[in-house]
Amino acid sequence: MPPEIPHDQPSIESPLSSQRLDELADVVASSIQDDQRTRHLSTDYLPSRREIIGVLERLEWLLFPGFNGPRSIGEASLREHSRRLLAEVAGPLFHQIAGALRYVESTEHIDFDQHCPDCDERGKEVVDAFLGSLPELRNTLSLDVQAAYDGDPAARHTDETIFCYPGIRALWMHRVAHSLFMQKVPLVPRIIAEHAHELTGIDIHPGAEIGNSFFIDHGTGVVIGETTVIGDNCKVYQGVTLGAKSFEHDERGKIKRGTKRHPTLGNHVTVYAGATILGGDTVIGDHCVVAGGVFLMRSVEAGHTVRGPKAAVRLNTNPDPSDID
Amino acid sequence: MPPEIPHDQPSIESPLSSQRLDELADVVASSIQDDQRTRHLSTDYLPSRREIIGVLERLEWLLFPGFNGPRSIGEASLREHSRRLLAEVAGPLFHQIAGALRYVESTEHIDFDQHCPDCDERGKEVVDAFLGSLPELRNTLSLDVQAAYDGDPAARHTDETIFCYPGIRALWMHRVAHSLFMQKVPLVPRIIAEHAHELTGIDIHPGAEIGNSFFIDHGTGVVIGETTVIGDNCKVYQGVTLGAKSFEHDERGKIKRGTKRHPTLGNHVTVYAGATILGGDTVIGDHCVVAGGVFLMRSVEAGHTVRGPKAAVRLNTNPDPSDID
Amino acid sequence: MPPEIPHDQPSIESPLSSQRLDELADVVASSIQDDQRTRHLSTDYLPSRREIIGVLERLEWLLFPGFNGPRSIGEASLREHSRRLLAEVAGPLFHQIAGALRYVESTEHIDFDQHCPDCDERGKEVVDAFLGSLPELRNTLSLDVQAAYDGDPAARHTDETIFCYPGIRALWMHRVAHSLFMQKVPLVPRIIAEHAHELTGIDIHPGAEIGNSFFIDHGTGVVIGETTVIGDNCKVYQGVTLGAKSFEHDERGKIKRGTKRHPTLGNHVTVYAGATILGGDTVIGDHCVVAGGVFLMRSVEAGHTVRGPKAAVRLNTNPDPSDID
């Protein structure tokens, strides 16, 4: 695999002597040899971030045809367009999923055999089921698009939300990642989620269950944890955390994994900017509104507005305006 | 248009049979056919995110020559450099703007005709006016660069702010987007704003009016809404929201669009990290300082410092240090 | 240097006449000529953001071999892989560092001579020392990887933290940038830091001193200032600011640069989401825990938990649920 970024001036030669490079190569190679935690040797099958991003680009062209990617698709060429992209997605997605399954096998079995026909069989099943669910996924995303338009007075048209809204971008990638997560695909869903996080500042764990017609406005700093459950018609703004309280530890002092640690939101819940809701037992009922900046670690019954403490701001006259900035 | 990311291993074949791909193509194509909200067919003219980003890259080379892009520009080649880039920007920018105008026509008129000579005429006028305003834009950006240096003790030189400051990056893109927004160009300004948001975590709606010598430090999580007005010599830090109160609805229960919903800052106003200022009637007077984390929904007269409630932190001894992490 | 993003439709011609382009080129070129603050002419040596990112990509392949980049590296080819990448990094990194040194010379000396053999000599020393420290850097990063796994119940394996965690990505780039910062390399460390910020939303100034086994979870909105000092085994969450109080000014009204302005954390300190700790004299002792959202401008002795004011939330029944969203 060649680097993504070519050197602008590839002719620049190393200022170090060939002998010095040999010395450095020796110590760097043994440091790689010595620390198993930070390297993988001879593991062709490992998932590739770059390949997964390539699959996502093509998926976007299937989910929102005509918005990004080729523009000239007409009714006549639509089926051809779809078939070509489906084939282009199926191969690499299969390769990534089967590779991730091989990877898990390799971490769990000492006598791991890269051959692993089961990984291929399972990978094929997952790809088949996932691509078969695309029409349903498109329906769900269509509701999200409408929710984004309905929820933002600055939007002029639903098209604008598909072209420009980070919330839509984060959400379609999440729904893809969640679908693979539910099929127990390892690593790949997390890589997708982190790619969405990089692009949007919205960090949704692939495990989070999110209902229909969800809208995230602005979105930077939103964190939605692994065991969060969100109902239909909910809305969250930038900087909202749906997170865990401090973690429980087992008898060996290790943190427990795999319990419900993140909150549950009912239907029609709105959480304004910067609010933090924590805890696996915290349930926010239907039609609740959580005001901006509220810090909430308890459940709230349906139909309530939650505000922080009454906090009048304090004003002081600045003695000398020229002193301020 | 070919995908941006080539497959690393393009030879990977689909694990699905040709027959299964045919079946999938049928259902995916009809799902695309059925939902008008999430696709555009035969709409060559739609703006292209990728093409707009290409224009922005070249614009950066005109606005800050020698910082990014070609380095060897000397006094002798400067005019040649400028002319070449102007031509390279004018064509695609015209194409994007005229396309966006066609797009709006298509959403408003049933008997829309792609030919639309008016769109081309208007597109040409906008490009001409915009490129003609570049010297003025450069003057404005020069003041922003100085403000960034003056505002940050960690900066060593104004050059550092152009090379490295997300605030400068977000601001030059905003000033470009705002200029096109003021000329009533649809969609393109929002796509530019969202590109800046993706790169910097700073989300400024193209409609926001921002005075001279503005500085955003760090910037991640900053949200500046569509109808915000900011005077000269203002400064905001990471996580600041200049936003709307909850929205007004019309008699049909739809949110109202197009009213003043976001605050107004005077001159020499500083807003520290994480502060939230909401509401279209909220006016912060000249030389005001808003402290970090303050939540403000009322106006403040000139020359005041606004702090949150006095809030002494509570300290508890941790019973056993080994229990903490 | 060609643009990064090729025009999708390079044949689009400028709608402006050749004469109008000439006029525009004249005024744009003189605006560039006139404002020294926003341009560099004839400065081949200036650092290049793009080239630095290319170096970082190759460095990642040396620091975490097999995770990104080539997969087929086996024990036999490891030394060869290392040597090739070391050579590919050494040349351009040297070019960037020597260029940054030339740049500083040019800002400080009127009779600056681009030839500057001292810059090359010093550049070579820095590259040699930096590449020689890679094994040590790998050891440090291995501890960070373990800390990320130990600190997050959602992680399945240390590998997941290298594949997907923005905290690891931000931290390896920070440790590279800090190493160059300590060798007094100008500009390049800040460009690296800002690249990490762009990718992760985590903004760490290259000057910050960070101990072993540091973990940043989620990370969006984290700001760690230039003179921050952090001990071993610390943990911070999204939206945490370790920042400066408002700045001191010198007798000419200019802000002071170069003093200790940011806090110090001891060992085993945890700072939860959205907390803000400010001030160069603020010292947080070992085994302290700072709760989410706390605003702290004073020191805390070892072994304490810091919480904000007791703030019961206020609940109001929503009169009519249909009125809410």
Closest listed residue to residue C76, CA positions, set B68, A107, B181, A29: A29
Task: Determine the straight-line distance between the first and last CA of chain A, rounded to whole angstroms.
Answer: 51
- Residues of A within 8 A of C65 (CB-CB) are 32, 39-41
- Helix ranges (H only) for chain A are 18-34, 49-63, 75-108, 117-132, 134-151, 158-164, 166-182, 188-200
The residues near A291 (Cβ < 8 Å, ≥ 6 apart) are: A272, A275, A305, A306, A307, A308
d(CA C69, CA A50): 9
CA A199 to CA C60: how far, in whole Å?
Answer: 20
Q: Is the pLDDT of residue A316 over 70?
A: yes
Q: Are B213 and B207 in contact (CB under 8 A)?
A: no
Contact B143, B213 (CB under 8 A): yes
C139 vs A31: CB contact, 8 Å cut-off?
yes
Residues 64-93 of C with CB under 8 A from B: none
- pLDDT tier at B84, thresholds 50, 70, 90: very high
Confidence of residue A323 (pLDDT cuts 50, 70, 90): very low
In tens, the pLDDT along B203-260 reads 999 999 999 999 999 999 999 999 999 999 999 999 999 999 876 677 777 777 779 9
pLDDT score, position A288? 96
Average of per-residue pLDDT across A224-238 = 98
pLDDT higher at A257 or C297: C297
Flag whether residue A6 sits within 8 Å of chain C, measured between CB atoms: yes
Distance CA B141, CA B136 (A): 9
Residue of C nearest to A187 (CA): C160
Interface check C13 vs B, CB under 8 A: yes
Of C79, C92, C128, the CB nearest to A16: C128
Closest CA to C226 of C188, C199, C275, C193: C193
Task: Take residue C115 and report the two structure tokens written for it.
Answer: 């030839």
What integer pLDDT is reported at residue A302 of this predicted model?
A: 96
The yes-or-no verdict on residue B321 having pLDDT over 60 is: no
Give the nearest partner residue to C1 out of B69, B95, B309, using CB atoms.
B69
Judge whether B95 is closer than 8 Å to chain A, CB to CB. no
pLDDT at B323: 46
C243 touches chain B (CB under 8 A): yes
Query: Contacts of residue A268 in chain B, CB cutoff 8 Å?
Result: none
- Please compute the mean of the pLDDT values over residues B303-314 and round it to a whole number: 83
**Which amino acid is it at B160?**
E
Q: What percent of chain A has pLDDT over 90?
A: 74
What band does B320 get if pLDDT is binned at 50, 70 and 90?
low
pLDDT at B325: 42
Residue of C nearest to A151 (CA): C325
For C231-265, b/e burial (b = at least 16 CB within 10 A) is bbbbbbbbbbbbbbeeeeeeeeeebeeeeebbbbb
Contact B4 A292 (CB under 8 A): no
Query: Does the distance separating the beta carbons of B66 and C37 come in below 8 Å?
Result: no
Residue A75 above 80 pLDDT?
Answer: yes
Q: Which of A69-73, A293-297, B133-137, B289-293 has the lowest mean pLDDT?
A: A69-73
Provide the shortest C-alpha distance from residue A31 to chain C (in Å): 5
CA dist., res. B255 & res. A154, Å (int): 10
A225: left (phi over 0), alpha (psi -120 to 50) or beta: beta
Q: What is the pLDDT of residue B93?
A: 97
Q: Does C161 touch chain B (CB under 8 A)?
A: no
Which of A63, A163, A217 to mutate to test binding with chain B, by most B CBs within 10 Å of its CB? A163
Q: How far apart are CA B197 and CA A165, in angstroms?
A: 10
Question: Reduced to 3 states, what is the DSSP secondary structure of residue B309?
Answer: coil
A68 contacts B49 by C-beta, under 8 angstroms: yes
Q: How far, in Å, CA of B223 to CA of A2, rounded?
A: 38
Pairing mode, strands C235-237 and C270-271: parallel
SS (H, E, C) chain C: CCCCCCCCCCCCCCCCCHHHHHHHHHHHHHHHHHCHHHCCCCCCCCCCHHHHHHHHHHHHHHHCECCECCCCCCCCCHHHHHHHHHHHHHHHHHHHHHHHHHHHHHHHCCCCCCCCHHHHHHHHHHHHHHHHCHHHHHHHHHHHHHHHHHHCCCCCCHHHHHHHCHHHHHHHHHHHHHHHHHCCCCCHHHHHHHHHHHHHCCEECCCCEECCCCEEECCCCCEECCCCEECCCCEEECCCEEECCCCCECCCCCECCCCCCCCEECCCCEECCCCEEECCCCEECCCCEECCCCEECCCECCCEEEECCCCCCEEEECCCHHHCC
Confidence band for A10, pLDDT divided at 50, 70 and 90: low
Least Cα distance to A166 among A86, A59, A223, A238 occurs for A238
- Residue A154 in contact with partner chain B when CB distance is under 8 A: yes
Averaged pLDDT, A168-183: 98
B190 to chain A, any CB pair closer than 8 A? The answer is yes
d(Cα B199, Cα A36) in Å, to the nearest integer?
Answer: 34
Assign residue C298 a region (left: φ > 0; alpha: ψ between -120 and 50; beta: otherwise).
beta
C111-145 in b/e form (b: 16+ CB < 10 A) is eeeeebeebbebbbebbbebbeebbebbebbbbbb
With a cut of 80, say whether residue A321 has pLDDT above it.
Answer: no
Distance (Å, whole) CA B267 – CA B270: 9
One-letter amino acid at B226 equals: E
Residue C166 near residue A190 (C-beta atoms within 8 A): no
Weakest mean pLDDT among A97-106, A150-159, B177-186, C111-120: C111-120
SS3 breakdown of chain B: % helix, strand, coil, rounded to 5? 45, 15, 45
pTM: 0.95
| Sheet bearing A283-284, strands edge to edge | A209-210, A229-230, A264-265, A283-284
* Cβ within 8 Å of residue C20, ≥6 positions away: B128
Give the confidence band of B10 by pLDDT, cuts at 50, 70, 90: low
Nearest to A78 among B27, B33, B107 (CB): B33
Q: Is the pLDDT of residue A265 over 50?
A: yes
In order along its 325 residues, chain C shows pLDDT tens digits of: 677 777 777 667 889 999 999 999 999 999 999 999 999 988 888 999 999 999 999 999 999 999 988 887 888 899 999 999 999 999 999 999 999 999 999 888 877 777 889 999 999 999 999 999 999 999 999 999 999 999 988 888 999 999 999 999 999 999 999 999 999 999 999 999 999 999 999 999 999 999 999 999 999 999 999 999 999 999 999 999 999 987 667 777 777 777 999 999 999 999 999 999 999 999 999 999 999 999 999 999 999 999 987 767 788 888 654 444 4
Please check the confidence at residue B324 and state whether its pLDDT lies above 50.
no
Average pLDDT of every residue of chain B: 91
Is residue B57 pLDDT above 50, yes or no?
Answer: yes
Q: Which of residues 125-144 of C touch A (CB under 8 A)?
A: 127-128, 131-132, 134-135, 138-139, 141-142
Structure tokens at A153: 């007075």
Residue A120: the pLDDT is 95
Distance CA A306, CA A292 (A): 9
Per-residue pLDDT, B110 = 78
**Beta strand B304-307 with A314-317: parallel, antiparallel or unpaired?**
antiparallel
Q: What is the DSSP letter of B176?
A: H
Q: What is the CA radius of gyration of chain B?
A: 24
